[in-house]
Amino acid sequence: MVYHNLKALIKGIRACKTVADERALIQQESAAIRASFREEDVYARHNNIAKLLYIHMLGSPAHFGQIECLKLVASPRFTDKRLGYLGIMLLLDENQEVLTLVTNSLKNDMNHSNMYVVGLGLCTFANIASEEMSRDLANEIEKLLGSSNTYIRKKAALCALRVIKKVPDLTDHFISKAKNLLTDRNHGVLLTAITLTTEMCQIDQNCLNEFRNAVPLLVRNLKALVTTGYSPEHDVSGITDPFLQVKVLRLLRLLGKGDARASETMNDILAQVATNTDSTKNVGNSILYETVLTVLEIEADSGLRVMAINILGKFLGNRDNNIRYVALNTLNKVVGMDTNAVQRHRNIILDCLRDGDISIRRRALELSYALINEQNVRILIRELLAFLEVADDEFKLGMTTQISLAAERFAPNKRWHIDTVLRVLKLAGNFVREEILSAFIRLVAHTPELQAYTASKLYTALQDDISQESLTLAALWIIGEYGDLLFEGGVVDEDQPKQITDKDLLDLLLTTLDSPYANSLTRQFLMASITKLASRPTTSSPQQQRIAEVLAKYTTSPELELQQRAVEFASLFTLGDLRSGVLERMPPPELKATVMGIVSENKPVGSTQGGKDADLLGDELAPPTPVVNGQATPNNQDLLAEIFGSSPAAPSPTPGRTPSISPQPQKSSVQDILGLFDSSPSPSPASPAPAPSAAISAFATFSPQPQSQAPPRPSPQQQQPPAPRLIAYTAYDKQELKITLTPQTSAARPGVVNIMARFQVSGSNAATGLNFQAAVPKSQQLQMLPMSNSDVKPGTTETQQMRVIAPPGSNIRLRLRLSYTLAGQAVQDQIDFSGFPPGLTGSG
C-alpha cells in the first residue's frame, strides 16, 4: 500500500503492531518513493521528501533523497524551498561532496528579494557550511551584515560566526561590521553580534585590542538592561533579557582581562548589576554568577572582589545543589586571590562537608584545605577529623595527606602535631601514605621530650585496634625504639600512669603477628621491633627467650623475606656485647624533605603534560615538563629540591615512591624499610663478608652507625675548598628576551646536573605570562621547580631551577619551548640547546 501524504504514512506506521511490521512498511514505502523519484514526478516530489524525512527521523536510510532535496531548493515556490533546505540540513553534512552543488543555490537565495527565502539560505549555511563553502560565500555574508532588515542581520551574524570558526583567517573581514552591529537597538541582533564578537576576540588577539574601544558602549547597553522598566517582549521572571545580559558580561570579562583602563570603565556597572539583580530566582542567580566571574577575571578593585566573593558565599546557602556546587567550585579557584574574604564564609563551607551530594562534599573538602592557617588550624583540623571518621573511602587517602600537611605547616606545638597525626592513624590507618608515616616517625625522633608520651599513646591505641595498618607500623617502630621508656613512666591511661611489664608489652606486639590484619610488611616490622626490645636491659631473660623462639619459628617460613630476617636477626643473639651496639637506639634522621614536600594528588609537582605538547619532541625526546608559574617560598623550594633528588636514576635518602592504600612488601626488604624511614644502610662492623647482609643493613634503620665507622665531620673553623666558578651559557637571545643556563655539578653525584635558568629583558617592555617548557632525550630525566615570576620586568632577573639526570659521560641536550607576551604581541619560539661542555655528567 502506498501512502499519498505524510499524515497517512504516520497513521500507517503507528498502526503497526510489531517492529517487524513497521520495518516492512518502511521498506515498502521507501521502494515506492524511489520509484517515484525515477519517474521525475514533480508534483509528488514534495510529499515524497516529507515522507522520506520522517523515515530518516525513525532511523531508516534516506540518503537516496539528497539530490531530490536539491531539486526542491531550485523550485521557485517557498514551501518547496523550505522543505528542500530542511532535507539538506538533515541528510547532508559538511563532509559530503554533494554539498558543493548547494553553494550556488545558497548564493542565489541570499540575494533573493523575499527576506524569508534569504533566511532559509542563511539558516542552512549556518548549519552545514564547510571550509570551502565558507570561503566562497564569505563576501555574501559580509554584505548581508549591513542589511537594513533586522531579521537578516541577525541570521547573517550567526553565519559569520560559522565562517570564522571554519576559516579563522577571515576574521578581519567582519571586524567593522561587528562594531556596527554592537550599536544595534534590536535585542536579537545585539545578542548575535556579541556572540560573534566574543568568538572573534577568543580567536585573534588583535580583535581583542580592537574591541576594547567598545567597552563604554557595552556598559551603556548593560546599564539600559538593568535600569529599564518592565518590558513584556524581553521579560523573563521579572528580569529584562537575561540572555543578553549574560552575553554582555562574558564579553566584558574578555575585554577587561589584563586591561586596567577597560576594567575601570566597567567597575560601576558590575557593582550595580551585583546589587540590583534579584537572587530569589534562578534567572537572577545566573546573571549574578556571570557577574562574579567577570569581577574575578578583570582588574577590579578590592571592594568589588569582596562583594563577588560574598555573592558566592550567599550561593552556598541556596537549596539548589547546582548553585552550591558552582559556588564552591569558583571559590576554590579564587581562594588564593583573597583568602580573607573567603574565610568569612568558613562555617557554611564546613557545613557543606555534611551535604548529601558527594560532589559538593568533595569541593567543600578541597576548599577547606585551602582555608587552613595559623589562626584557625585547631578548628578546621577538628572539623576535618570529624569528617574523616565518616568519610567515604575514596576521600580518606587525600584527607590523611592534607591533614598531615596542614598539621606540620601550622601546628601550634609539637604535642598537638603528634596528637593530630595519631588521630589520623587511628581513624584511617589503612589510607595513609608512606611519606606521612615517615614524617611522623622523624617528628617523634626529633622530639625526645614526647617520645615516652607517643609510645604510651600508641601502646593504648594498639590495644584498642590492630586493624589500621599504618597505626600498627608506627606503633611497632616507636615501641621498638622507645619501648623501654614505657617501663619508666608507665602507660598514661585517662591521665593516670599505669605500669606495664615487659611481658605485657611483648604480648601486645605478638598479637599483631597472627592477627587477620597482619601482612608481610607488619611481620617484618614486628621482627625488627622485638629484636630491638630484646637488646634493652629492661627486657627480662624469659621474654628474650620468647623473642628468640619467635624468630626461630620464622627461620623456616616459606616467605623468603621473613625467613631471611628471622635467620639474620636470630644470629645477632650469638654476638654478645656487639648485639647491643648494633641494636642501640637510632639517632634522629636528618630533617631534609619532610611531609611538607609530599606531592598531593591534586597538585603534582613537575607532572608531564600530555596532549598536543607531548609531540613537541617527536620520537627522539621525552615529553616536556611544563611548569606552573607562580611564587614559591625558599623553604618549600629547598624541600621540593630534595624530593626532586629522589628518582630511580639518582637515589637519595628520601624515596619518591607513590604509596598505595594498603602497602605491599617490595622486592627488597632493605629498600622497603629504608624507604619508609628515610635512612641509608650502614654495614655492621661484625660482618665478615665484604657486603653486609640484608637484615643487618635493615637494622641500620633502627640503630646508629658505630662511632668508629662514622665519617669525620669538618668543623666550621676548617678551611673549605674554594667553590668552582660557574659559567652561564646563553640559550636564547631574541625578541628582547635573554635566557642563560648555568650548570652546576657535584663529584659526589655523577650524572646529576643542576641548572639555573635566568630570564632578563633587554628593552623597556616587560615580558608577561612567560611559559617556559623544557625537554630532554628519553635516556635522561628532567625535573623543574616553578619559575620565580612569570612576568619578567626590565631591570629584574627571574630564575627557575632545573635538574637533569643523565647517564655518566653523555652530553646534556635540551629542547626549549617558550611563549610570552611583549608589548601586546604574543611571541612563541622553540630552540634546541646543546651548548654545555662535554663531560659535564662525569666519565662514562
pLDDT in tens, 288-320: 999 999 999 999 888 899 999 999 999 998 888
Determine the Cα–Cα distance for residues 201 and 211; give it in Å rounded to an integer: 8
> What is the distance between the terminal CA atoms of the chain, rounded to a whole angstrom?
87
Determine the Cα–Cα distance for residues 338 and 313; give it in Å rounded to an integer: 13
- Give the residue ranges of the chain where pLDDT is below 70: 1-2, 493-495, 591-725, 843-844
How much is the pTM? 0.62
Per-residue CA distances from 440 to 196, 419, 422, 424, 704 (Å): 57, 11, 9, 11, 19
Determine the Cα–Cα distance for residues 727 and 341; give it in Å rounded to an integer: 47
572 three-state secondary structure: helix
CB 692, CB 683: distance < 8 Å: yes
Q: What are the cell numbers at 411?
A: 601546628
Query: Looking at residue 40, what is its pLDDT?
Result: 80
Determine the Cα–Cα distance for residues 111 and 101; give it in Å rounded to an integer: 17
Query: Looking at residue 843, what is its pLDDT?
Result: 62
Query: Looking at residue 646, what is its pLDDT?
Result: 37
Query: Looking at residue 2, what is its pLDDT?
Result: 64
Query: Looking at residue 495, what is its pLDDT?
Result: 64
Task: Please give the torsion angle defined by the CA atoms of residues 582, 588, 590 and 591, in that order, rounded to the nearest 10 degrees.
Answer: 160
Query: Looking at residue 623, what is its pLDDT?
Result: 35
- Residue pointed to by grid coordinates 622507645: 482
Q: What are the cell numbers at 465?
A: 585496634
For residue 735, the 8-state DSSP code is T
Q: How many CB atoms lie within 10 A of CB 840?
A: 18
Query: Looking at residue 735, what is its pLDDT?
Result: 83
Give the CA angle between residues 556, 559, 564 to the nearest 5°: 65
Strands 798-805 and 491-493: unpaired
pLDDT digits (tens, 9 = 90+) for 81-106: 999 999 999 998 888 888 888 999 99
Who contacts 523 (Cβ-Cβ below 8 Å, separation ≥6)?
Answer: 513, 554, 562
Who contacts 793 (Cβ-Cβ below 8 Å, separation ≥6)?
Answer: 761, 766
Q: What are the cell numbers at 318?
A: 541556596
